[in-house]
Amino acid sequence: MRPELQNFKGFNLKNLPEFDGFAPGHRACQGCGTVLPLKLALKVLGPNTIAVSATGCMEIISSPFPYTSWRIPWIHVAFENSASVASGIESAIKVLKKKGKISKKEKINIVVFAGDGATFDIGLQFLSGALERGHDFIYICLDNEAYMNTGVQRSGATPFGAHTTTSPSGKVIKGNVTWKKNIMGIVVAHNIPYAATANPAYPIDLMNKVKKASLIKGPTFIHVFSPCPTGWGCKSEDSILIAKLAVETRIFPLYEVIDGKYIINKLVGHISAKKDLLGKYGEYVLKKKVSPKKPVEEYLKLQRRFRHLTPEQIEFIQKKVDEEYEKLVKLSQIFGIEEE
Amino acid sequence: MKKKLIREVSLEEAKALKIRKKVAKEVSVAIADAVAQCKVDVISAYPITPQTHIVEYLSELVNNGELESEYIPVESEHAAMSACIGASAAGARTFTATSSQGLLFMYEVLFIASALRLPIVMVIANRSISAPISIWNDHSDVMTMRDSGWIQFFAENGQEAVDLIYHSYRIAEKSLFPVAINIDGFILTHVIEPVEFLDQELVDKYVPHLKMNYKLDPKKPVTMGAIGVPEIYTEAKKAQDEAFNSSYKIIINAWKEFEKLTGKRYQPVEIYKMEDAEVALVIMGSLTETAMNAVDLLRDEGKKVGLLRLRLWRPFPLRDFIKAIGKVKAIGVVDRAVSHGATGGPVGIEVRSALYQSNKRPKIVNFIAGLSGRDVTVEDFIELFERTYHAIKTKPTFSYKIYGVKE
């Protein structure tokens, strides 16, 4: 276990922080599944936090001059470079502390909020550089699976088959032809101390992960599934339901990677490998309550972006989702399981 | 009422301090030393020729414990400037250096740095831009950032580059605008020169601790980089523009203060033998010293020629320039960058535009010379002077001419 986490006790409904770093009155859409995790994260991080936003929905809805939703120091510079801006802030605070210009006792969290486009695509190099250099900051990717702010264009995070304005469901090509980029794999390959996936349908889990990320020294990354009623063509009241289904169908598994060791927070469905082949993971499965797996169709059918999918495409998605999930299980088997 | 960020230094205080000592140093190393003297907090840079020696030496100082700074070895120039923006916004004194493609790669954030009013200091070791790829010197790189809202200086030699480092921190932090110091790649960066540094005590007085009124501080949260909707964007730009133009006064005051301290006089436009000149060349950077030799030779022949050098390029020192041209009949503007399809090189266009509303209307010819390190010799300058003389009596037949093209 990381020494920073030794005294970590998770949140529960009785000990939620009162701090609200993000003022109401912002201009997010109804049912926005992106602003919700952002708000929860700021609650955890508290007032001693500096936030950097990449250009995107959250930046636009929060800062139409002369209004601002940010009750903490906040900066937006450009679309792709928020990890570099955070690197600069972190280095500044570090040296100013050394020089006695900022109190050494003061713990200042530095957090980046960036969308999937800003993380998976245009900002990947900047993210990689900042992770590799080991700056002490938290990078939260709010992934709504397309360029929503510019009108729902496809990104590297757009799932297979999804209709976007640049991967339309045409007569010949039906939606996005590629599988979602494995950003967690890329991030974990940088050997950072902490990476996790989170989801606003599991708010306590999400808050705990943000807390862990803030406690751990060095670069940490949280990939947050962020439903977008506007871009996905779903009812605004279904955001959380869809987020929950993403986990229950194995489409967006909840897991953490601490020092390279995998923890699957919520095991879903039967693991196809034989128990004795699973080794240590077999014991883990036995101890854990495994939730039943729901078919991907339940998730897909609530969203207009998937409505053109043929039964063959849905079958393909089901197969691939299960394959990816089992890959994750194998990773946790190979690389061991971090004691919770 | 704005707080005074920098304390004035009295003449008595200055005199009490020893300031003269010269050491032979490569100009890049000298620049790094001056940056270190300014006690920079965060350095963020990416290697590109011919800028590399500056940041290599700075990282050496940091790793040897001689300079208490954070050195961020970023993965690109875009990130270099982005990290400077973050560090500066958090209240740190920052430095970066780049050249050519590197400057072009950070282009997007240059504008943001100035609009966010961050006092970043950058040295640009001027180099041509691709294609064809070339590492040698001209001013094509920096001319692309003409309109970016950075205060821009051109140094003639290593000593000036070093002095401009001191000036730039003072000016940047007083005006809250980023400053770019241009030095000719290789011609200056890689040459060894006797350089005089200010004593540390004097540097500390001239460039005191940075104290920013608005920064990323949890005790006093601010929102930086908000959206400017159409109802506010124009006003935001007007405010920035006014502030930028008024940085001129801050520059002049910083130089006056420097003169008090060191006896060295800096001004926006330098002139050479302009008192009775009929013909003058307008020039920037290190070529000036070669051009001076040409002036001397032509003066020996009785020709009334002179030189004007723009040290300050942005904000353009309009009044100083018009005053400096005296009563010349013709001006030859020597550009070191091409502005494809324009009516001249970047400096040529500026000079024509500057004089249009003036009563002075000398003939103007515009040469583009010394691209990608092509030598411009004393003989070449004599030729340029002769062509400018010729323009007095003839109607200009070209908007600009690329000089020295091999047939």
Q: pLDDT (tens digit, 9 = 90+) per residue, B232-286? A: 999 999 999 999 999 999 999 999 999 999 999 999 999 999 999 999 999 999 9
The per-residue pLDDT of chain B, averaged, comes to 94
Model pTM score: 0.94
Q: How far, in Å, CA of A148 to CA of A228, rounded?
A: 8
Q: How far, in Å, CA of B171 to CA of B160, rounded?
A: 15
Residues of chain B contacting residue A99, judged by C-beta atoms under 8 Å apart: 41, 68
* Confidence tier at A285 by pLDDT (50, 70, 90): low
Element (H, E) at A263: strand A261-264
Residue ranges and CATH numbers for the domains of chain A are 20-334 (3.40.50.970)
Whether B75 and A108 lie within 8 Å, measured CB to CB: no
Whether B75 and A73 lie within 8 Å, measured CB to CB: no
Q: Are A118 and A54 in contact (CB under 8 A)?
A: yes
Q: How far, in Å, CA of A109 to CA of A107, rounded?
A: 7
| Amino acid A292: pLDDT | 83
Q: How far, in Å, CA of B144 to CA of A264, rounded?
A: 51
Q: How far, in Å, CA of A259 to CA of A243, rounded?
A: 27
Q: Are B284 and B154 in contact (CB under 8 A)?
A: yes
Residues of chain B contacting residue A126, judged by C-beta atoms under 8 Å apart: 75-76, 78-79, 82
| Amino acid B2: pLDDT | 45
Residue in A65, A80, A136, A137 to test binding to B, most B beta-carbons within 10 Å: A65
| Closest in A84, A98, A133 to B86, CB measured | A84
A105 touches chain B (CB under 8 A): no
Sign of CA dihedral A209, A211, A217, A218: positive
User: What single string gives the DSSP state of each residue in B131-164?
Assistant: SSP--S--SHHHHTTTTSS-EEEE-SSHHHHHHH
Q: How far, in Å, CA of A27 to CA of A64, rounded?
A: 9
User: Which part of chain B is CATH 3.40.50.970?
Assistant: 11-262
In terms of Cβ atoms closer than 10 Å to its own Cβ (0-12, 13-18, 19+), residue A171 is exposed
Angle at A221 between CA A218 and CA A223, to 5 degrees: 175
Residues of chain A contacting residue B86, judged by C-beta atoms under 8 Å apart: 52, 75, 77, 84-90, 92
| Percent of chain A scoring above 70 in pLDDT | 93
A43 touches chain B (CB under 8 A): no
Under DSSP, the state recorded for A169 is B
Under DSSP, the state recorded for B214 is S
Q: Are B341 and B398 in contact (CB under 8 A)?
A: no
* Confidence tier at A331 by pLDDT (50, 70, 90): confident
- Is the bond leading into A66 cis (omega within 30 degrees of zero)? yes
Task: Please name the residues in contact with B334: beta carbons below 8 A apart, sequence gap of 6 or more.
Answer: B281, B282, B283, B287, B291, B347, B367, B368, B369, B370, B376, B384
In order along its 407 residues, chain B shows pLDDT tens digits of 444 444 555 666 656 555 567 899 999 999 999 999 999 999 999 999 999 999 999 999 999 999 999 999 999 999 999 999 999 999 999 999 999 999 999 999 999 999 999 999 999 999 999 999 999 999 999 999 999 999 999 999 999 999 999 999 999 999 999 999 999 999 999 999 999 999 999 999 999 999 999 999 999 999 999 999 999 999 999 999 999 999 999 999 999 999 999 999 999 999 999 999 999 999 999 999 999 999 999 999 999 999 999 999 999 999 999 999 999 999 999 999 999 999 999 999 999 999 998 999 999 999 999 999 999 999 999 999 999 999 999 887 668 999 999 98
Whether B87 and A92 lie within 8 Å, measured CB to CB: yes
For helices B77-89 and A82-98, angle between their N-to-C axes, nearest 10 degrees = 50
DSSP H helical segments within B46-155, as ranges? Answer: 52-63, 77-89, 100-105, 107-115, 140-143
- The encoded tokens of residue B312 equal 């300050």
Q: What are phi and psi of A306, to 5 degrees?
A: -110, 5
Q: Which residues of B53-74 are buried (b: 16+ CB within 10 A; e: fewer)?
A: bbbebbbebbeeeebebbbbbb
- Is the bond leading into B50 cis (omega within 30 degrees of zero)? yes
Residue with tokens 């800062």: A63
Residues of chain B contacting residue A108, judged by C-beta atoms under 8 Å apart: 218
User: What single string gives the DSSP state of each residue in A65-80?
Assistant: TT---BSS-EEE--SS
| Amino acid A136: pLDDT | 98
Residue in B46, B72, B114 to test binding to A, most A beta-carbons within 10 Å: B72
Q: What are phi and psi of B270, to 5 degrees?
A: -95, 140
Whether B87 and A86 lie within 8 Å, measured CB to CB: no
Q: How far, in Å, CA of A293 to CA of A314, rounded?
A: 16
Q: What are phi and psi of B346, to 5 degrees?
A: -55, -40
A23 touches chain B (CB under 8 A): no
Q: How far, in Å, CA of B396 to CA of B407, rounded?
A: 22
CATH level 3 topology of B269-402: Rossmann fold (3.40.50)
Q: What are phi and psi of A287, to 5 degrees?
A: -75, -30
Report how far Cα A103 is from the mean position of its chain's Cα atoms.
32
A99 touches chain B (CB under 8 A): yes
* Confidence tier at A334 by pLDDT (50, 70, 90): confident
A42-58 confidence digits (pLDDT tens): 999 999 999 999 999 99
Q: Is B82 helix (H, G, I), strand (E, B) or coil?
A: helix
Q: Are A221 and A187 in contact (CB under 8 A)?
A: yes
Residues of chain A contacting residue B236, judged by C-beta atoms under 8 Å apart: 65
| Amino acid A100: pLDDT | 95
User: Which part of chain B is CATH 3.40.50.920?
Assistant: 269-402
CATH level 3 topology of B11-262: Rossmann fold (3.40.50)
| Closest in A75, A87, A94 to B216, CB measured | A75
| Amino acid A267: pLDDT | 82
| Amino acid A335: pLDDT | 72
